[in-house]
Amino acid sequence: MYRKRVEFLQGVFPSMSTVPMSHSSKYVKFGIATTIIVVALGYLAYTGVQQSKSYYVTIKELHGMDNSVYTKRLRVAGNVEPGSIRRTGLRLEFTLVEQGNKLPVVYTGTEAPPDTFKDNAQALAEGSFGRDGVFHASEIQAKCASKYAPQQQNAPTAPAKTMSQADPGAATGLNK
């Protein structure tokens, strides 16, 4: 009975046989599966890099670019113009200034702006440039230049203590 079923199935599906698969066909199938996985991972990596890639441009370069500027993810830096910061709910509007060039920016990100984001602060906006002439930022970064500036050359400084002058109990909290 079994033999009749196998003969019937072989007649209906001629490619099916009872002969075991050879070693070379196993390697071919494994190679094809591996190739498909590698190609899929390569595609995912490429598209991920393309989506996260952003171009750094100056405000002057931004105004001089062609129509491709509207489709690219960009980063623009400048100083926040004094008096230009306007907050309405989660929306933040301000103007970046760089070498006399101005750029209006609208930030509608999910995070609050940094504490150092103030008038005259150096800021970096990441997002896209709209056809309305406004830069639509999804991320902003700011730093306070005065906080990280080097000390002035004429400012008096105290001489550093040597190890023999240092208080040995200071590190342990013990007094002499």
Instruction: Summarize pLDDT for 9-68 with one digit per residue, the tens.
Output: 566 555 555 445 566 788 888 899 999 999 999 988 887 776 666 778 888 888 788 787
Q: Does 39 share its domain with 82?
A: no
Instruction: Summarize pLDDT for 117-165 with one digit per residue, the tens.
Output: 888 888 888 888 888 889 998 888 887 655 555 555 555 555 545 444 4
Q: Does 9 share its domain with 88?
A: no
- We report the CATH number of the domain holding residue 115 as 2.40.50.140
Q: Does 64 share its domain with 121?
A: yes
Split into its structural domains, the chain has a count of: 2
Gyration radius of the chain's alpha carbons: 33
Residues with Cβ within 8 Å of residue 34, at least 6 apart in sequence: none
Q: Which domain holds residue 123?
A: 55-148
Q: Does 66 share its domain with 127?
A: yes
